[in-house]
Structure 1
Amino acid sequence: MLQTEFPFTLPCGYVDARGNLHRQGTMRLATALDEIEPLQDARVRANEAYLTILVLSRVVTRLGDLHPVDVRVIEGLFSADLAYLQRLYVQINEVGTTLFETQCPRCGLRFSLDLTEGGDINDASAGL
């Protein structure tokens, strides 16, 4: 069975207007429409970098108790969190990717899992 949704934990987290911190979320696999439709948006035509914001707002399906996640939420992320989501997007949407970064819910240790059959668990601090 194909995995289409991937849980994540942001390094910093999104702080909403009430001061609540949202770190755990879910990202789904992108569709062709997720990548093509935002290209027609005027904000992308004015600034190509905005494409990242629009695509992530489509594929991040939950962040804390926020769902759906809209453009304003992605715009409000800290730079470290935006970079994290960009890397995760590439990992889960790139053909042949078998490494998935995750975090132990008990101790907080970040590590990468090789999702191939018989793959190793690699410490994320080892350069992955």
Structure 2
Amino acid sequence: MADATRLTTVDTVTEAGSWLFTVRDAYGEPDEAILVPCDDDVEAWINRCPHEAQRLDVGRGAAIRDGEIICPRHGSTFDSCAGTCDNGEAEGTRLVPVDVTVEDDEIYLTDRAVTFDHEGGIEASEDDDDDVPSSTSHIGF
């Protein structure tokens, strides 16, 4: 498929339950996305609950039950196919979609707003200390 980046296969997503990957926006900023099974197909969503910016897949696969993605923070569930939530803290919100196309069991990233960076999540830099912001102040606490 021209003008598209091959991600993985439908079989891989179906067997694993989800597939995490990193994309970059037009400014080069990274974001995570997940592929999830949807009926006989797959859908892709930004890996973030719209309620509180909680990652849905923290690197061990997204929790999915009965066709719904479960937010690990508050338990809100999102329809895997539509991305909508009708319960819990995230009720009335929708996951941010990422455009993908399936052709002969192969999944391609076709979203023009992002580019594929790599399989897996955003890697924490070695300078990060448990996501605590560093300080440039000379004052110690």
TM, length-normalised to structure 1: 0.30
More helix by share: 1
Q: Which has the larger radius of gyration?
A: 2
Flag the structure with more relative contact order, 1 or 2, with Cα contacts below 8 A and sequence separation at least 6: 2
TM-score (norm 2): 0.29
